[in-house]
Structure 1
Amino acid sequence: MDTQSERHIINQIKEGDSDAFKLMVERHKDASLSLAISILKDQDLAEDVLQDVFITVFQKIETFNFKSKFATWLYRIVVNTSYNQLKKIKKGVDIEEITIVPEKLITHEEMLKEENQKRFINLALLRMNADEALTLRLFYLSEMSIKEISKITGFKTSKIKVCLHRGRNNLDFQLRQLLGNELNDLL
């Protein structure tokens, strides 16, 4: 979405236009959900967090001042809310110990399909460290710059670069764990 269009929609939201808000939610919900899942490792929990995020966005939209992209501001709220939720639940559960198993075995031909590529990449990201998965999603899937990632996450540039480097290696490792020799066929 171009800057003028984004500014117009945000101004409409500030004036109370619920249709404009619905449009903004529709445009950002998938990427926001993906970020929340990166941190929380649970789709249902991430969807709950996202509801809280969009309520917060609606309540705080007046504070958005166009000094950054709307997506940067929104994703910062997603990240903060997700980490706060993680702190609440992490007391009794070690998220790193959760093992995700593919729902069903699929044939070699089915794995070549694009939806299966996404499925296995998402499974691999769910098995990774939250900071690495989040950084990879923001950099590659949301096409954010390191500067924008820093604004969203609060991470220093050096940490982002380290997370990207380790994350790429870890993603490769996790995909190899999930797919073994069939990884080359998937890619």
Structure 2
Amino acid sequence: MDNYGEALTKLAFNYLKDWNLAEDVIQDVFIICYKHYDKLEEIHSLKAWLYRVTINKSKDILKHSNRKRMIFNSSILEFKQGKERSPETQMIHNNERLFLSASVLSLPIKYREVIILYYYDGLSIAEMSHILKLNENTLKTRLKRARAKLRVLMEGGEANGKGIKTAKRNNG
């Protein structure tokens, strides 16, 4: 629980967009882990197995949920702070983080999951293939499409100023 709890909760949150539901899912995941404790030696990668169970539990809740939840929690993107920043720089950084977080969360689930697993959880394509039970080439294609969709979302938004520059470039 100490090693994977926080990462799994963030993973579940990225699917459910509700921190309380994500915590409930992780409790269920660790109960499943406890029930299968005697079989853990048969599992090749505990991390991959925990991720797979978390993803499946999260998708089950999404299938059974009649309402969509849109709660954006800035903890999706936790960056380590280096030097102390000025209040203005900190505000800009926070706005960029929130914009990126909202953009990632607005992606369709199949694209959101590859972005989260690859960039935020640092998994390789091979690890993702094992966890998601998808072909590596399929994942590479999804990752490429996810980046393109995210780029469009990010450039189209005026929160980072790029939308204005892109519009000027296209018009003039």
Shorter-chain TM-score: what band? 0.7 to 0.9
**Contact kept in structure 2, 1:147 and 1:157, CA below 8 Å:** yes
Please name the residue that 2:107 is paired with.
128
Q: Does the 8 A contact of 1:99 with 1:127 survive in 2?
A: no
Asked if the contact 2:9–2:23 (Cα under 8 Å) also holds between the matched residues in 1, the reply is: yes
CA distance in 2, matches of 1:40, 1:144: 20
Instruction: Give the equivalent residue in structure 1 for 2:89.
Output: 109
Secondary structure at 2:2's aligned position in 1?
helix
Whole-angstrom CA distance in 1 between matches of 2:103 and 2:161? 15
Q: Aligned residues, how many?
A: 151
Match of 1:65 among 41, 54, 62: 41
Q: Give the structure 2 partner of residue 17 of structure 1.
A: none
Tell me: CA distance 1:117–1:151, structure 2 relative to 1, closer, same or farther (3 Å).
same
Assess if the C-alpha contact under 8 Å between 1:124 and 1:178 holds in 2: no
Amino acid at match of 1:167: A
Q: Aligned Cα RMSD in Å?
A: 2.9
Report the alpha carbon displacement of residue 119 of structure 1 after superposing the two structures with TM: 3.6
2:5 aligns with 29
Question: Given the two structures, how large is their TM-score scaled by the length of structure 2?
Answer: 0.72
Q: Which runs of 5+ in 2 are unaligned?
A: 75-86, 164-172
Q: Which runs of 5+ in 1 are unaligned?
A: 1-24
> 1:75 deviation in Å?
0.4
Per the alignment, in what secondary structure is the counterpart of residue 123 of structure 2?
Answer: coil
- 1: CA distance, partners of 2:99 / 2:45: 30
- Structure 1 residues 43 and 178 mapped into 2: Cα distance closer, same or farther (>3 Å)? farther
Closer, same or farther: CA 87–124 of 1 in aligned 2, 3 Å = same
